[in-house]
Chain A
Amino acid sequence: MTIKIRLARFGRRNAPFYNIVVAHARTARNSKPLEVIGTYDPIPKADPYDDSGRLHKDIKLDTLRAKYWIGVGAQPTDTMWRLLSMVGIMEPKYRSQQPRIAPQLPADIKKPEATSSA
Chain B
Amino acid sequence: MPPRIPTKSSASSASALVRSSFVSPCTSQCLPSCRAGFSTTPSLERSTNLRRAFMQWQKTIGANFKQPKPEGGHNYLSNSNQPFPLNPQFRSDRVLDEQARELIWEKVMRQGETLKAVSAELGVDVTRVAAVVRLKEVEKDWVSKGKKLATPYSKAVLGMLPTKSFRPGVQNQPLEPINELHIHTATQKQLFWPTAESRQFTREDAAKAFHAKMLSADKRVPHPELIQMEKNLLHGMSPDEARAHFISAAEQSERMAAEKQVKKAMAEEQATKRINTQRFEFRFKEVDSELVGKDGRAPNVVGWKYGMPHYDRKKGMVKIPTSVP
Most buried by A among B273, B275, B277, B307: B275
Measured between beta carbons, the chain B residues less than 8 angstroms from A83 are 282
A33 to B288, CA, bound (A): 17
Q: Which of A36, A58, A62 contacts B286 (CB 8 A)?
A: A62
A57 touches B283 (CB 8 A): yes
A59 at the interface (CB under 8 A from B): yes
Chain A residues in 8 Å Cβ range of B302: 36-39, 60, 62
- Further contacts, 13 of them, CB under 8 A, given A44-B279, A60-B285, A87-B275: A17-B304, A20-B303, A36-B302, A37-B289, A39-B304, A48-B325, A49-B325, A56-B280, A56-B281, A60-B286, A86-B284, A87-B273, A97-B277
Contact B283 A59 (CB under 8 A): yes
The 5 closest A-B pairs by CB, nearest first: A48-B325, A62-B289, A10-B304, A19-B303, A56-B281
**Contact status B289-A35, CB under 8 Å:** yes
Q: Is A55 an interface residue (CB 8 A)?
A: yes
Q: Which residues of A contact B (CB under 8 A)?
A: 10-11, 17, 19-21, 32, 35-39, 44, 48-49, 54-63, 65, 83, 86-87, 97
Contacts of B301 in A (CB 8 A): 36
B137 → A minimal CB distance (Å) = 11
Enumerate chain A residues within 8 angstroms of B240, measured Cβ to Cβ. none
Give min CB distance, A86 to chain B, whole Å: 5
CB within 8 Å for A56 and B277 given contacts A17-B304, A32-B307, A35-B289: no
Nearest-Cβ distance from residue B275 to partner chain A, whole angstroms? 5
- Residues of chain B contacted by A19 (CB below 8 angstroms): 303-304
Is B273's CB under 8 angstroms from A54's CB?
no
CA distance A87 to B285 in the complex (A): 11
B287 within 8 A of A: yes
Contact check, A36 vs B283: say whether CB atoms are below 8 A apart.
no
**A10 cross-chain contacts in B, Cβ below 8 A:** 303-304
Known: A38-B302, A97-B275. A63 touches B286 (CB 8 A): yes
Q: Verify A39–B283 contact, CB threshold 8 A.
A: no
A44 to B273, CA, bound (A): 16
Q: Which of B273, B280, B303, B325 contacts A36 (CB 8 A)?
A: B303
In residues 292-308 of chain B, which contact A (Cβ within 8 Å)? Answer: 292, 301-304, 306-307
Q: Taking each of B279, B285, B287, which has the highest tally of chain A beta carbons within 10 Å of its own beta carbon?
A: B287
Contacts of A21 in B (CB 8 A): 303
Check: B290 CB closer than 8 A to any chain A CB.
yes
